Amino acid sequence: MKRTVRHLADGREIIYFDERADTAPRVAVDARDLPPVAAASEIRLDPLTGEWVAMAAHRQTRTYKPPADLCPLCPSRPGRPTEIPESDYDVVVFENRFPSFSQSVSGAPSTVDDLGLVPTAPGRGRCEVVCFTSDHGGSFARLPPERVRTVMDAWADRTAELSTVDGIEQVFPFENRGEEIGVTLHHPHGQIYGYPFVTPRTRRMLETARAYRERHGRPVLGDVLAAERKVGTRVVAEGEHWTAFVPPAARWPVQVLLVPHRQVPDIPALDAAERDDFADVYLRVLSRCDRLFDRPLPYIASWNQAPVHSGRDLAWLHLELFSILRAKDKLKYLAGSESGMGVWINDVTPEQIAERLRAVG
């Protein structure tokens, strides 16, 4: 793989990941007249839950559902410059023009209205966009395995680098796909957030993992993985190094965990064979998901990685894919119980989800 770092017209970093080492040098210059990025992110600690909430009002003006011929993630062409100055690319990562978190945010910790009740701090971090292919009409599910491996290597590269950035406590690569999920750019892409705190979900999972290890002396996800592989009822796909299964307490109408057979804290810790095997297993899962309702499945695919500075001995890397689609033309809404109390009610059982996904294989 060939890695090339360049900069856009407003100073943002852009990194090209090319599969061939002999790819022509990336020398195209971003000739656009862009104003400096003006992020004004702030985080506030909810005194009732102890959770950080980000305020990023500047994102209201971000690009919203442009037509295909104005897509900012396609390669540039004569008279139509985009976020990627080159005329083609394999995988590219660049700093988000409308970031939820930014290293350029100024200010100091304080409290709302100076009352000392609600702590505030600058929303310092980093947000990046990951384009998986230059093909606007493509999808992750249709990538060849070697391209998925390039994406994996890009995720690993960015996780390792962002983990060294001052103030970043957790690195979160993810993909949102489909308008039902809230996607505003249809080009196949994902994002990476460098959070200035450990997220509530990760905190809770680490607390659960610590308590389980104290009681049993083993990692909880390791025991869950072993049980799922032994029983097989909820297994969707399996490889030499990864198993994909519907979690036994699935919340979503479509939900799959992809778990490596070896406990590692994050993507950079995966070896070459594990990265190759992930590509094979994940593409099989995505193919089944798209055949489930005979239409492209809207989904969120989120990497659960260890925080940068804590819980690394407890965490077990895994990818969670889930969808709000419960039938071809019906959505799972987060209604009163889910949104108000955080108590999930699923319309299908995990066993039914797994059976349906296997049936379309």
State both tokens at 347.
Answer: 């319309």
State both tokens at 117.
Answer: 């009740």
CB neighbours of residue 4 within 10 Å: 15
Sign of CA dihedral 256, 261, 264, 270: negative
Annotated active-site residue 189? The verdict is yes
B/e letters for 234-267, b = 16+ CB within 10 Å, e = fewer, are: bbbbbbebbbbbbbeebebbbbbbbbbbebbbbb
B/e letters for 78-108, b = 16+ CB within 10 Å, e = fewer, are: eeebbbbbbeebbbbbbbbbbbbbbbebeee
CA 1, CA 20: separation in Å to the nearest integer?
A: 6
In three-state form (DSSP H/G/I as H, E/B as E, the rest C), the secondary structure along 203-217 is HHHHHHHHHHHHHHC
Give me the DSSP letters along 290-307: HHHTTSPPPEEEEEE---
In angstroms, what CA-CA distances link 245 with 237, 286, 341?
A: 7, 13, 27
Residue type, 62: R
State both tokens at 3.
Answer: 């890695």
* Residues in the annotated binding site for Zn(2+): 71, 74, 136, 187
Q: 186, 189, 241, 318: which one is catalytic?
A: 189
Q: Could you give the strand order of the β-sheet that contains 235-238, starting from the edge strand earlier in sequence?
A: 2-7, 13-18, 91-95, 126-131, 189-195, 170-177, 299-304, 318-323, 254-260, 242-245, 235-238
65 phi-psi bin (left φ>0, alpha ψ -120 to 50, beta other): left
State both tokens at 51.
Answer: 């959770």
Pairing of strands 91-95, 52-55: unpaired
CA 299, CA 323: separation in Å to the nearest integer?
A: 4
Catalytic residue set: 189
